[in-house]
Structure 1
Amino acid sequence: MSTATPTTPAVSGYVPAPGEAPRPKRLGPILLTTLTWIIGLIFVAPLFFMLLVSFHKNQTATLNTPGLFDPLSMEGYARFFGSTTGQSTWPYIINSLIASVVSTLLVVAISIPTAYALSVRPVKKWTDVMFFFLSTKFLPVAAALVPLFVIANNIGMLNNIWFLVILYTAMNLPIAVWMMRSFLADIPPALFEAASLDGAGLVKTLVRVIMPIATPGIASTSLICFIFSWNELLLAQLLTSSVDAQTLPVFLPSLFDPRNPFLATMSAASIMISLPVLIAGFAAQDKLVQGLSLGAVK
């Protein structure tokens, strides 16, 4: 008759010997996980509160804090989409999508070959080139408002969504080049040498070799550029004056009405404006985590 020796699960890779008492679990990882959840909930709590307020009437949300079991209302969302005010929001949504998506695509299309020239096939004095890209971010945007307004006025591009596309592309390009260069610098040089030996040119190397490997980096760079363009207010407010080119961040302050309650409407508008960024972030979550962690461990 054989007797089976009871086994205990391994803790952190440690397997106790027969007859040896298992080591107690350390409290450090548990406390760290608990603290991380608490900090995460603190940061997310305002978003959940804003979501709760958006599903109540303006009068209720202004006079007291809405409760979970208070009657719900879609008044804020109806006012945001213009069902009760007669002012349609869709032109602003379309303008924001055009400015953000097109500028992000242009930034990615320009930054990949630029980063390739600065990392895989470095040009002479490439450090000076990188410093030049970085130096373009030294000047605050507010300091360039008057020259940009004069230029737009002289070339007839005021109140033009495509002028915003050009500005957003120039605004995000230095950040994208720095990010893409760090991603491409981590790709083993042997892959590029093998592609060169196989007779692959620059375009084929970019499409067949770099794009599949650098997908996480491209995803994270694209998302960051999209967020910056989507949330930009200063340039859009100065250079646009009508619904033909105004974006959602410019439209949002128009919902502020000190004569009437507006808290639920503002909360609904904030949720709807944040929704595309949240959807893009969740859709590219795995690629985003991989891209932001590239180059962290050597």
Structure 2
Amino acid sequence: MTTMVDKPQTTGPRTSRRGRRRVHQAEPRRSGFPWWAVGTWIVTLIFFLPVAWMVLTSFHHEADAATNPPSVFAPITFSNYSDLFSRDIGPYLINSATASILSTILVLVLAVPAAYALSIRPIEKWTDVLFFFLSTKFLPLVAALLPIYLIVKYLGMLDNIYTLVIIYTSMNLPISVWMMRSFLAEVPFEILEAAQVDGAGFTRTVVSIITPITMPGLAATSLICFIFSWNEFMFAVNLTAVRAATSPIFLVGFISSQGLFLAKLCAAATIVSLPVLIAGFAAQDKLVRGLSLGAVK
């Protein structure tokens, strides 16, 4: 008479020593010291050093700022900033803000529908359209300066802030269309089909669906357009005089062949750079997400 003995059943998957060893070997090895982090900080400090040196020089006297080698531990003074605001910098900053903000808004209003037609609802020969937008950036600005000046003079719009708004819009529109197209290409097409089934029109789709999804891309595009418009100098110095002069023209006024001007110039450059730095710091999370979202595949 034989007795049947049931083998005990083990709970859970069996893992042999060889399998455990393979799993252990498949894990990635982590380096003991974060060399990449250290290298990133070194590169960041190298790029930040000129900005820090500009801010430090703005708090020195002109004699200390002009020494060779420069004096790092020179006495601190705020006289450069008091002289700066006594020269009435406000209108220049207002003109720069007006031209930059209005042109950025116009660029987004024009670039989003164009990018929609080139990515989500592609038209025929859309690659030729993209190449045409890109070809407009091949011409140097100085080559277009004379015809633009003659046209603006004929229209009686010299020294007019809205002239700069139109020019900055045309300058930033091609690159904005390229950027927004790459952002809109990442929008899932199923969401747009569901909105179309629900009866949403083009305006409702853009405002309620596409805009929230591509908000990081919009922030990145608007910040780049704002920076390009804020720093533009060639058209501003040739098409404006007094009423529509922008902040880069105000900076040039400190450069002189007589006397020292480096400390006051650094103070003015620090004040002019603050709006761009504040805008970049406020939108840094959306800027990083937007640049990674719109990566060209």
Map Cα deviations across residues 171-197 of structure 1 (whole Å, 9 max, x no partner). 000000000000000111001001100
Q: Distance in 1 between matches of 2:49 and 2:222?
A: 27
Q: Which residue of 1 aligns with 2:180?
A: 180
Taking a change above 3 Å as real, the CA distance of residues 225 and 24 of structure 1, as seen in their structure-2 partners, is: closer
Q: Distance in 2 between matches of 1:200 and 1:185?
A: 20
Does structure 2 retain, via aligned residues, the 8 Å contact 1:52–1:66? no
- Partner amino acid, structure 1, of 2:259: N
Mapping of residues 38-187 of structure 1, within 5 Å: 38-63=42-67, 65-68=70-73, 70-81=74-85, 83=86, 87-187=87-187
Q: Distance in 2 between matches of 1:280 and 1:76?
A: 25
Number of corresponding residues: 274
Q: Percent identity?
A: 54
> TM-score normalized by structure 2?
0.87
How far has the Cα of 1:295 moved from its partner?
Answer: 4.1
Compute the RMSD of aligned alpha carbons: 2.1
Taking a change above 3 Å as real, the CA distance of residues 286 and 192 of structure 1, as seen in their structure-2 partners, is: same
Tell me if 1:236 matches 2:236: yes
Taking a change above 3 Å as real, the CA distance of residues 221 and 297 of structure 1, as seen in their structure-2 partners, is: closer
1:26 pairs, out of 8, 23, 31, with 31
How far has the Cα of 1:107 moved from its partner?
Answer: 0.3
Taking a change above 3 Å as real, the CA distance of residues 154 and 72 of structure 1, as seen in their structure-2 partners, is: same
Q: Which residue of 2 aligns with 1:37?
A: 41
Map Cα deviations across residues 256-286 of structure 1 (whole Å, 9 max, x no partner). 1232211110111111111111100000000
- Partner amino acid, structure 2, of 1:227: I
Instruction: Give every structure 1 segment of 4 or more consecutive aligned residues whose post-TM-superposition deviation is greater than 4 Å.
Output: none
Mapping of residues 144-293 of structure 1, within 5 Å: 144-242=144-242, 244-293=243-292
How far has the Cα of 1:131 moved from its partner?
Answer: 1.1
In structure 1, list runs of 5 or more residues that go unmatched: 1-14, 17-22
Q: Distance in 1 between matches of 2:191 and 2:113?
A: 16
Does structure 2 retain, via aligned residues, the 8 Å contact 1:58–1:75? no
Map Cα deviations across residues 217-254 of structure 1 (whole Å, 9 max, x no partner). 00000000000000000000111122x01101111111
Map Cα deviations across residues 35-66 of structure 1 (whole Å, 9 max, x no partner). 11111111111111111111111122113523
Q: Secondary structure at the match of 2:256?
A: coil
